[in-house]
A and B are shown apart, each in its own frame.
Chain A
Amino acid sequence: MTSRSLETRKGTRVRVLEAGPQHGRPVIFLHGLTGLHDDRDRRFLDLLAERYHVLAPELPGYGESTGEELLEDMLDFSLHGWDVLAALGLTRSQPALVGHSLGGMIAAEMACLAPELVGKLVLVSALGLWLDEQPIPDVFSFLPFEFGDYLFHDPERGAAVLTGVDFEETEALQSFLVANARRLGTAGKMLFPIPDRRTSKRLYRLTTDTLVVWGESDRLTPPAYARRWAELLPCATAVHLAGAGHMVPYEQPEALAREVAGFLG
């Protein structure tokens, strides 16, 4: 897997991970609200790269990507997604969009803006909808040690993927807090205080074939959200995976890669 940096026309600087056959079908992976954990766990991307040309852009505000101050609302972030594809020269190549969590929300919004430019769409534990009877926990009030509890089927493994550090060490906790403030500060522009920017009003436009994948023990966005996406999307099928919470790509990479490959063909 290689890493490079590109600049969008708006002026954001984006790190992009790339793997797989250059002339393979382009699959764009949009990471979730905790970021692209490629330094600790990139098994899912490696599996996809066996068949597809995988590109994983990192959102500004996350890791090495910068320029988040230029992006303020849902439309800015959706257009940013298309700006990244334009910079990669992939706008006209019918890429598949695979979006996880926050990335699923952005992928759905991108597809609503330009449904004819998206080959296929995969939404994994996607944020973006709100059900009064299943309120999503307030991630912005989580203390660092709570993320693992809510996001993972196995919280202990979760803590390792998310931070890889021991919060007993003050310096490690400090650097986690700084990075977390940048990441979730950016995500908050789309998710705070209720993670719903009225995407549901636009989903009628989304005639793209869509696969909805959910972890059975997702405590952040419970499986009722998978049913809601499937109801609202004109052409969707939903799949539930055992042994996974919200962080499906890191918890069940093989099963997820299998489902995605089966769907993309």
Chain B
Amino acid sequence: MKFTWFNLMPWPYLPDDFRERHRSVWVDIPNTLYDPVKGHALYHQYMDQLEYAESVGFDGIGVNEHHQNAYGLMPSPNLIAAGLARRTSRAAICVIGNSIALYNPPIRVAEEFAMLDVLSGGRLIAGFPVGTAMDTNFCYGQIPALTRDKYREAHDLIVRAWAAEEPFAFDGKYNQLRWVNCWPKPIQRPHPPIYIPGGGSIETWDFCLDHDYNYSYLSFQGYKAAKALMDGFWERVAARGKDESPYRTAFAQILAVAETDAEAERLYAEHVLYFYNRCLRVYPGFADPPGYRTVATIKRGVVATMRRENLKLFQNVTWRDLIEGGMVIAGGPETVRQRMEELIKSLRVGHVLCLLHNGNQPDEKTRYSTRLFAEKVMPRLRDLWPEWRDDDRWWIHPLEQRVRPEETVGGRR
């Protein structure tokens, strides 16, 4: 098993009456709620936490991209990743990812990811999300019905740019480039491990299986709700005649560890609820513009949020809902271990993206939870897939002789 410590980097200072006063945490949230002086301290605190996660034994540290929101403060995860590459030496740097349909030309992503791979000594995991509708369509103006087509072209261009050893011309529908010649190129050949964060469409599964990319299911609905979807993925894997390595997949899970279940609730409940009740408050009109999803996906979806009365009566979710529904795994080490084992085996995942900082959780609690997970839970989950122990197809292949932070001038902390 591989464990990546992930920080969404939420804004922790949303007011108590945020839900009453603002319709959305994303797209049109007033930036008067953001304070750059507090933001300065916060970036350093969040980056310190990611570095701390490496020091206590996590295999990877993870960041991602979102725009115009208080849910995640990384419009450019590559900037954060560059800082992490300098101050860490072992962990995979999991950027999951860059929304490749947004960049014009997408060569920019090929270049920056290559820079990160070189800077980190071959420790980059490269994620290629389509991006949420809020980010991709409403903030960055991509046409919903053409977003996926543009995404696929950007993918083809980036992967080809990484692999090519001669300059080539690219005559695409969205990108025309007479000279494509990626300088620098990544250390990991032909490319760093590629992770595709996705929802439940069969097209995304086939895309991952066609290229042998990792399928990362990112959901805050938890592992119980994810079961049906992941079963669908594994059925597709079988139908395509691919092997069933659990490392084909990753799953993101909100976690909170204390000495006992009662202590976990006492320490973390308010912060996890802050995340669910404020950070996930997205205006439904921004979540799903016409054309963003396929008709088949809409037919499967839930429509209740689209009603007028539900906007007013939106009920706050409770700690008990979250624990019982499996959205959150929290408690003493043994409780968390049991639940995690259930998650890993029932979904058949080889990578877990561990969300151990949640909402407005303070630094000391985050480190406490992180250390307990690393010391008392992680070691007992390591070997759940013994028959796939040597499968490193979806993991980094770093240089043997990497430059270590402590070896560089000024590198001592």
Give complex CA distance A184, B289 in Å.
8
Give complex CA distance A144, B305 in Å.
11
- Whether A174 lies near B146 (C-beta < 8 A) is no
Q: Is B141 an interface residue (CB 8 A)?
A: yes
Give complex CA distance A141, B26 in Å.
12
- Whether A177 lies near B303 (C-beta < 8 A) is yes
- Whether A183 lies near B306 (C-beta < 8 A) is no
Q: Is A185 an interface residue (CB 8 A)?
A: yes
What are 5 sample pairs from A and B whose C-beta atoms fall under 8 A apart?
A141-B289, A174-B299, A177-B306, A189-B143, A192-B289
Kindly identify which residue among B137, B283, B298, B304 contacts A140, using a CB–CB cutoff of 8 Å: B137
Q: Which residue of B lies closest to A187 (CB)?
A: B290
- Whether A181 lies near B137 (C-beta < 8 A) is no
Q: Would you list which residues of chain B between 311 and 341 have a CB under 8 Å from chain A?
A: 311
1/0 per residue, CB under 8 A from A, across B283-305: the answer is 11110011111010011000110
Give complex CA distance A184, B284 in Å.
16
Q: Is A188 an interface residue (CB 8 A)?
A: yes
Contact partners of A189 in chain B: CB under 8 A: 143, 145-146
Greatest chain B CB density within 10 A among A141, A180, A192 is at A141
Q: Which residue of B lies closest to A168 (CB)?
A: B307
Q: Is A170 an interface residue (CB 8 A)?
A: yes
Kindly identify which residue among B27, B141, B291 contacts A185, using a CB–CB cutoff of 8 Å: B291
* Interface range for A: 20 to 34
Known: A184-B290, A186-B291. 10 other contacts (CB 8 A): A140-B144, A178-B299, A181-B291, A182-B295, A184-B291, A185-B145, A187-B290, A188-B145, A189-B145, A192-B289
| Majority secondary structure of chain A interface residues (helix, strand, loop or mixed) | helix
Q: Is A193 an interface residue (CB 8 A)?
A: yes
* Interface range for B: 20 to 34
A193 to chain B, nearest CB (A): 4
Q: Is B275 an interface residue (CB 8 A)?
A: no
A145 to chain B, nearest CB (A): 5
Give complex CA distance A138, B139 in Å.
12
Contact partners of A185 in chain B: CB under 8 A: 144-145, 290-292
Contact A174/B143 with A140-B289, A141-B285 known, Cβ cut-off 8 Å: no
- Whether B303 lies near A174 (C-beta < 8 A) is yes
Give complex CA distance A140, B27 in Å.
13
- Whether A141 lies near B286 (C-beta < 8 A) is yes
- Whether A72 lies near B146 (C-beta < 8 A) is yes
Greatest chain A CB density within 10 A among B27, B145, B146, B306 is at B145
Contact A177/B291 with A140-B144, A145-B307, A193-B141 known, Cβ cut-off 8 Å: no
Q: Is B211 an interface residue (CB 8 A)?
A: no
- Whether B298 lies near A177 (C-beta < 8 A) is yes
Give complex CA distance A138, B285 in Å.
10
Contact partners of A194 in chain B: CB under 8 A: 141
Contact partners of B303 in chain A: CB under 8 A: 170, 173-174, 177
Contact A173/B307 with A181-B298, A185-B145 known, Cβ cut-off 8 Å: yes
Contact partners of B283 in chain A: CB under 8 A: 141
Contact partners of B289 in chain A: CB under 8 A: 140-141, 184, 188, 192
Closest 7 CB pairs of A and B: A185-B291, A184-B290, A141-B285, A185-B145, A193-B141, A140-B289, A181-B290
Contact partners of A181 in chain B: CB under 8 A: 290-291, 293, 295, 298
